[in-house]
Structure 1
Amino acid sequence: MFEQTFKAIDDVLWKEAGCTTELDYTEQTSWMLFLKYLDDLEEWA
C-alpha cells in the first residue's frame, strides 16, 4: 500500500518543474501525504 502511494507521488513530482533537489522532493512528498491524511480524516468524520 505504501509503496504504491509513494510510487504515485514520485511519478507526479518528477514530472513537475518545481522539484529540483532532494529537499524539494522530500518537502513535497510530506505535504502530499499530510493532505491525503486530512482528506481521509474529513471523509471519516
Structure 2
Amino acid sequence: GRSLGKTNPLNDDDLKEFVEFQSTFRESERSWFFALKDVDPASFDLSVKNPNAPEDDPLREQEEILAEIADLDQESEEILAAIGEMLA
C-alpha cells in the first residue's frame, strides 16, 4: 500500500502482521501461500498476483463511457447557457 525505497524502507510495522501470522501459517489479504511448482525456476520471480486481494471492478464498455461523456457535455452546455443568461 505504499512505495518502498532507499528513503522509505520497510519498518517494524510493515512486518508486524507477517511475524504474527508466520507461527500459525495464517493467511490474510496481504499474506498467502503458493506452490513452489508455480514459481518460475529461471527467475524465482515472487511477484505473483495476490489471490486474497479484492477483485477490481470490471472495466466499462466503450459505448457506456462515450454515452456518459455525451451526457456530461450536454449538462455542461446547459449550465453554461444558464450562466450566460444570468450575465446578460
Q: TM-score range by the shorter chain?
A: 0.5 to 0.7
Two-structure CA RMSD over aligned residues (Å): 1.4
Q: Which residue of 1 aligns with 2:81?
A: 38
After TM superposition, give the deviation of residue 41 of structure 1 in Å. Answer: 0.2
Higher relative contact order (Cα pairs below 8 Å, separated by 6+ residues): 1
> Counterparts of 1:28 and 1:41 in 2: how far apart (Å)?
20
Q: Please state which structure has a larger fraction of its residues in helix.
A: 1
- The number of residues matched between the two structures is 26
Paired AA for residue 64 in structure 2: T
- TM-score normalised by the chain length of structure 2: 0.28
SS across alignment from 1:21:
helix
Q: Which runs of 4+ in 1 moved over 6 A?
A: none
Provide, for residues 16-45 of structure 1, a one-character-per-residue CA deviation record: whole Å limited to 9, x for no partner. xxxx70011000000000100000000110
- TM-score normalised by the chain length of structure 1: 0.54
Report % sequence identity: 12
Gaps of 5+ in 2: 1-62
> Counterparts of 2:87 and 2:66 in 1: how far apart (Å)?
32
